[in-house]
Amino acid sequence: MPVQFSSKLQSLLIPPTRVVVFTGAGISAESGVPTFRGENGLWNEFRVEELATPQAFAAHPGRVWEWYGWRRQLIARIQPNPAHLAVAKFEKYFANCCLVTQNVDGLHSRAGSERILRLHGDIWEVRCVACGLHGTDLREVLPSLPPCCECGGTLRPGVVWFGEMLPAGVFESAVQAVESCGLFFSVGTSAEVFPAAQLPAIARRHGAYVVEVNIERSAAAHEAHEVLLGKAGEILPELAAHLQDTPAGRSTPETESR
Ligand code: BJW
Ligand code: ZN
């Protein structure tokens, strides 16, 4: 059955609306990437404190690398889904559109999105714990990792673990985009992890129309003006199809507005 969008939402789906799309693991679920929480979530099967904290890596780097290697292998085999493609289409359509993702899987890039703020890093990157050197390591299997080529330090996955700061400036850039947008989508996130989970509230407080897309109401659903219950891979393509029918086309920088 087609999803019903409010007339308010339809009226905003036209440039020069400034749009922020905020995504979580649920947008990749239909591609086959496991979410973290909920039924079949990673944290049901694995203990977060043994795998996704700096303390876990310090104590058992091999175990942590093995787990990330397993996840990389899984992600390498799967494809972006219609929800990722719809988000990429938003970026092409709205001159002012910012994608803020908590996901580390790289599927948004593979779907064609270019302006991406990655709050929790990238599973395809490595970082030196000693000197901070960043590198992209596209190998799927990492049986043993060489030491950092700059300083000989230990390399770690380029993701953000619990208790760690988000990459410098990235959350601040996200907040800036959110504070000035007119339409904010929160897609496939439980909104349980901070500071990312604050974004829907920030959007609402600054006057954006907030739309949640999720198979169930998230912890931030009360911040949404509209909750579209259903799969991101079904709802977002319907929204994107609506863009095609809209005659206004892209905005020019001069006509940009909130
Ligand atoms: C679908 C669908 C479909 C399914 N269609 N929908 C304030 C209060 C309390 C605690 C804190 C606080 N501030 C900070 C904290 C501590 C902590 C935190 O938030 N803890 C909470 C658990 C309470 N935060 C941090 O530590 C953060 N750092 C920080 O705050 O730095 C400052 C600081 C430093 C030192 C001390 C204190 C503060 C860092 C957080 C890093 C999170 N890292 C992870 C792992 C990344 C690497 C990896 O992938 O291995 O990020 S955890 C995991 O959760 C991952 C995700 O990005 C993140 C969010 O999960 P997400 O995306 O929402 O997924 P799920 O699974 O939760 O939800 C999926 C959703 O999809 C569900 O709603 C489904 O219904 C839906 N869905 N299928 C649409 N087809
Ligand atoms: Zn180094």
200 lines ligand 1 (CB under 6 A): no
On average, the pLDDT of the chain sits at 91
Q: Would you state the pLDDT for residue 3? A: 83
Q: What is the mean pLDDT of residues 245-257?
A: 45
CA 257, CA 100: separation in Å to the nearest integer? 20
Would you state the torsion angle of the CA atoms of residues 76, 168, 112, 91, taken in this order, to the nearest 10 degrees? 150
Euclidean distance between CA atoms 174 and 5, whole angstroms: 26
> Catalytic residue numbers?
120
Which has the higher per-residue pLDDT, 102 or 141? 102
- Share of the chain residues as helix, strand and coil, in percent rounded to the nearest 5: 40, 15, 45
Closest to 32 in 3D by CA, of 63, 73, 68: 73
pLDDT band at 216 (very low <50, low <70, confident <90, very high): very high
Torsion sign (Cα): 215, 192, 20, 167: negative
Q: Report domain extents, the chain.
A: 7-32+80-120+166-255, 42-77+125-159
Per-residue model confidence (pLDDT) at position 220? 98
Q: State yes or no: pLDDT of 10 exceeds 70.
A: yes
Does the predicted TM-score (pTM) go above 0.85?
Answer: yes
Of the two residues 232 and 126, the one the predictor is more confident about is 232
pLDDT at 245: 58
Residue 253 has pLDDT above 70, yes or no: no
Residue 44 sits at the vertex; the CA angle it makes with 38 and 47, to the nearest 5 degrees, is: 135
Q: Rounded to the nearest whole angstrom, what is the distance from the C-alpha of residue 193 to the centroid of ligand 1?
A: 3
Fold of 7-32+80-120+166-255: Rossmann fold (3.40.50)
What does the buried/exposed string (b/e) look like for 7-16 if buried means 16 or more CB atoms within 10 Å of the residue's CB?
eebeebbbbb
pLDDT digits (tens, 9 = 90+) for 34-81: 999 988 899 998 889 899 999 999 999 989 999 999 999 999 999 999
Ligand 1 proximity of 24 Cβ (cutoff 6 Å): yes
| 119-130 tens-digit pLDDT | 999 999 999 999
pLDDT of residue 143: 54
Mean pLDDT, rounded, for 189-211: 98
CATH architecture of 42-77+125-159: 2-Layer Sandwich (3.30)
- The Cα 66–Cα 82 span in angstroms is 30
254 vs 81: which has the higher pLDDT: 81
3-state secondary structure of 91: helix
Q: What is the pLDDT of residue 243?
A: 87
Q: Please tell me if the CB atom of residue 25 comes closer than 6 angstroms to any atom of ligand 1.
A: yes
**At residue 62, what is the residue type?**
G
- Choice from 194, 211, 234, 236 to test ligand 1 binding pocket (greatest atom count within 8 A of CB): 194
Q: Is the CB of 89 under 6 A from ligand 1?
A: no
Q: For residue 36, give the ligand 1 atom closest to its CA.
A: 66
- pLDDT tier, 244 (very low <50, low <70, confident <90, very high otherwise): low
Tell me whether the CATH fold assigned to 7-32+80-120+166-255 matches the one assigned to 42-77+125-159: no
